[in-house]
């Protein structure tokens, strides 16, 4: 293992993390809900009456964040190297997997670990482990 010091950005990462934690804290104290993005979004696919508006409101805020940012300063441009086939496969896996596993990086990773949930710790170790293994396989064994 070698650390890529040029890419390492501890301060923005920490600042962004504090904001994410703040958002999760706001959501649980103000709304009484866990800020799990896959759960908020997935709940719209089997909608229950009276359980839709808050989901849409949260998602409008989330998707609107870059627009709010751009109103003040140019937003950073993401680098998406995956091709269309890989994006489709990854999207299907992430969509199905997060619903089957009841959460993603936000619900299990941020909120679950903040709640000291063993179930979320297991989920987080599983998806992080699978993520590390997949990148190792693709970059170092298959050379993609």
Partner 1 sequence: MANLYAALAGLVFGLGLIVSGMADPAKVLGFLDLAGAWDPSLAFVMAGAIAVGLGPFALARRRERAVCGEPMRLPTARQIDRPLVLGSLLFGIGWGVAGFCPGPALVALGLGETKALVFVVAMLAGMAGHAMLQRRRGGA
Nearest one of 64, 22, 58, 61 to 38, comparing CA atoms:
58
According to CB under 8 A, which one of 71, 118, 142, 143 is a site residue for partner 1? Answer: 118
Contact set for partner 1, span 51-110 (CB under 8 A): 53-55, 57-69, 75-82, 84, 86-106, 108-110
96 CB contacts (<8 Å, ≥6 apart)? Answer: none
Quick one: CA torsion of 44, 45, 46, 49, rounded to 10 degrees?
30
Window 15 to 44, contacts with partner 1 (CB under 8 A): 15-35, 37-38, 41-42
Q: Which is nearer to partner 1, 49 or 81 (CB)?
A: 81
Interface with partner 1, residue 136, by CB under 8 A: yes
In whole angstroms, how far apart are CA 72 and each of 20, 26, 36?
A: 20, 24, 27
Q: Which of 49, 71, 119, 143 binds partner 1 (CB under 8 A)?
A: 119
């Amino acid at each position: 293992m070698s650390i890529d010091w040029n890419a390492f950005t501890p301060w923005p990462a920490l600042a962004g993390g504090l904001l994410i934690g703040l958002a999760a804290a706001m959501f649980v104290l103000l709304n009484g809900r866990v800020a799990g993005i896959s759960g908020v979004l997935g709940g719209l696919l089997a909608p229950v009456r009276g359980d839709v508006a808050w989901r849409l409101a949260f998602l409008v805020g989330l998707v609107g964040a870059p627009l709010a940012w751009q109103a003040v300063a140019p937003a950073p441009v993401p680098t998406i190297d995956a091709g269309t086939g890989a994006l489709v496969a990854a999207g299907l896996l992430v969509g199905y997997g997060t619903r089957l596993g009841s959460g993603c990086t936000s619900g299990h990773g941020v909120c679950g670990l903040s709640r000291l949930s063993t179930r979320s710790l297991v989920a987080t170790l599983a998806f992080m482990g699978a993520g590390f293994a997949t990148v190792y396989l693709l970059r170092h064994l298959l050379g993609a």
